[in-house]
Amino acid sequence: MNNENSLKQDARVIGLVGLAHGTSHFYHLILAALIPWLKPAFGLSYTELGLLMTVFFVVSGVGQALAGFVVDRVGARAVLFFGMSMLGVSALVLARVDSYAGLVAGALLAGIGNAIFHPADYTLLNQRVSRERLAHGFSVHGISGNIGWAASPIFLTSIAASQGWRAALLWAALLPMAVLALLVLNRAVLYPDPIKRTAGTAQGGTLGFLKLRAVWLCFGFFLLTAVALGGIQSFATISLEALYGISHALATSSYTAYMLASALGMVAGGFLGAHAKQHDRTVAAAFAVAALLALVLAAGAGPSWMALPLMGLIGLCSGVAGPSRDLMIRAAAPQGATGRVYGVVYSGLDSGLAIGPLLFGLVMDAGRPGWVFAGVALFQALAIATAVGVGGSTRARKAGTAGQAA
């Protein structure tokens, strides 16, 4: 394959996988965005509504760990098709329910669908994208997720306001169905590498990767960073209002600046990751700056106009770390166990997103808005320690393997 054809194939794979990932993130908020309509429609408390999101992320977290094994056995493409189908089915079920139990069932189905994306996506990117463009593939993958998060509330609330919440869910069901059709039409370029049935035997069999310290450090990294992200997503806006006395519009704009800057940082991080060798150090440096900026916000001592640029800078640093983070995990994964490693590691993301809002909600109930950003800084600092540990463990393992080969 010449370089031009390789570039076209890489672009197609990256685009298709990115589109699938954006769809999964769109569904992260499919219920949260409709809370103003679901609450009166079913007479629910906020606790009952929160439980729906908990069901989604718990099922998704457990499912991710299991989905990685399926990906390594049957191939990522088939698993990706299944997950996309389940998202569409979940929206159709949710659109027709007439009880709280039905909402729980719909959230469970959506969680099952969401569970497959990280192990399937990253396996396809690692298998089908050229090594020199892999960092850019990870960059696009992260950006597409942010776009999904940003698009979901706008799409769902605008339709719900004019046509009702059931119509919004029916329209939402069209998205994964359309993406699935596009994936099927381009199935040839997503054809996975042949499954090696002996893969992983050098690491102690199918479960041998679980003995690797780096894998669990990666899980810890995602858990910690997701707790911080959950705090920002849930309470950054109201915390900024309380700390700086700014309007809701400016506080919301500050969160938007965080998201947009994060996407920009992922673009820059793709170029940085493509040329860096020790990805853990890139991650550590980016999060160190982000944590320091979060502490500045937590102090609440500066002028009110600082809120927006500081949030943007925190998002920029977090985004820069994204591609290097994924390359760090790729380096930690044993050959033939990519799906399993990404499945287990990314289950930490869902775990953190389930814990973060609850933890920071307690902080807000205690009347300590500044502690939200102090907590974000704390969890980002702890994540730095896990990233450095991943890098050290991976380099030690590879050095030992090279020594044995010699």
d(CA 160, CA 29): 14
Of the pLDDT bands very low, low, confident and very high (cuts 50, 70, 90), residue 342 is: confident
pLDDT at 332 over 90: no
More confident residue, 361 or 89: 89
The stretch 256-262 carries a mean pLDDT of: 88
- Using pLDDT thresholds of 50, 70 and 90, give the confidence band for residue 5: low
Q: Just give the CATH number of 206-391.
A: 1.20.1250.20
Of 192-201, 224-233, 265-274, 298-307, where does mean pLDDT reach its minimum? 192-201
Whether residue 351 contacts residue 241, with contact meaning beta carbons closer than 8 Å, is answered with no
What pLDDT, on the 0 to 100 scale, is given for residue 195?
59
Examine the pLDDT at 199 and tell me if it is beyond 80.
Answer: no
More reliable by pLDDT, 334 or 241? 241
Share of the chain above pLDDT 90, in %: 48
pLDDT value, residue 205: 63
pLDDT for 402 equals 58
Predicted model pTM: 0.77
Contacts of 309 (CB under 8 A, 6+ apart): 257
Q: Which amino acid is at 376?
A: V
Examine the pLDDT at 216 and tell me if it is beyond 80: yes
Range with top average pLDDT, 59-63, 215-219, 322-326, 378-382: 378-382
Residue 200, pLDDT score: 43
Question: Which sign, positive or negative, has the C-alpha torsion 226, 51, 216, 338?
Answer: negative
Please give the residue that has the higher pLDDT: either 402 or 155.
155
Predicted confidence band at 359 (pLDDT cuts at 50, 70, 90)? confident
Q: Mean pLDDT in the chain?
A: 88
Topology of domain 9-185, per CATH?
Growth Hormone; Chain: A; (1.20.1250)
Q: Model confidence at 341, in pLDDT bands (50, 70, 90)?
A: confident
Domain boundaries, the chain: 9-185, 206-391
What was the pLDDT predicted at 291? Answer: 96
For 5, other C-beta atoms within 10 Å of its C-beta total 9
151/101: higher pLDDT: 101
Residue 119 pLDDT greater than 60, yes or no: yes
Can you give the pLDDT at residue 403?
60
Q: Which two tokens stand for residue 167?
A: 């119509």
pLDDT, average across residues 372-378 = 95
Q: Same CATH topology for 9-185 and 206-391?
A: yes
3-state SS, residue 196: coil
Phi, psi values for residue 278, rounded to 5°? -105, 90
Q: How far is CA 250 from CA 147, 238, 313, 318, in A?
A: 21, 11, 16, 21
pLDDT tens digits for range 33-69? 898 899 999 998 877 887 888 889 889 989 988 998 8
Distance CA 64, CA 343 (A): 5
CA 348 to chain centre: 10
Dist CA 398 CA 21 (whole Å): 31
**Three-state SS across 304-318?**
HHHHHHHHHHHHHHH
Residue pLDDT, tens place only, 223-232: 999 999 888 8
| Residue carrying the six token digits 């794979």 | 13
Q: Which residue matches tokens 């219920």?
A: 31
CA distance 329 to 220: 12
pLDDT of residue 406: 52
pLDDT at 277 (0 to 100):
78
* Model confidence band, residue 198 (pLDDT cutoffs 50, 70, 90): very low
Greatest mean pLDDT among 134-148, 158-172, 184-198, 227-241: 158-172
Mean pLDDT of the 396-403 span = 66
- In this prediction, residue 404 carries a pLDDT of 58
- Region 240-257 average pLDDT: 87
Q: Which residues neighbour 167 within 8 Å (Cβ) at sequence distance 6 or greater?
A: 95, 159, 160
Instruction: Tell me the helix, strand and coil percentages in the chain, rounded to 5.
Output: 85, 0, 15
CA distances from 392 to 213, 217, 260, 385 (A): 10, 11, 32, 11
Q: 364-368: list long-range contacts, CB under 8 Å, 24+ apart.
A: 364/235, 364/238, 364/239
CB neighbours of residue 399 within 10 Å? 10
CA dist 199 → 24, 121, 194, 399 (Å): 29, 19, 11, 20
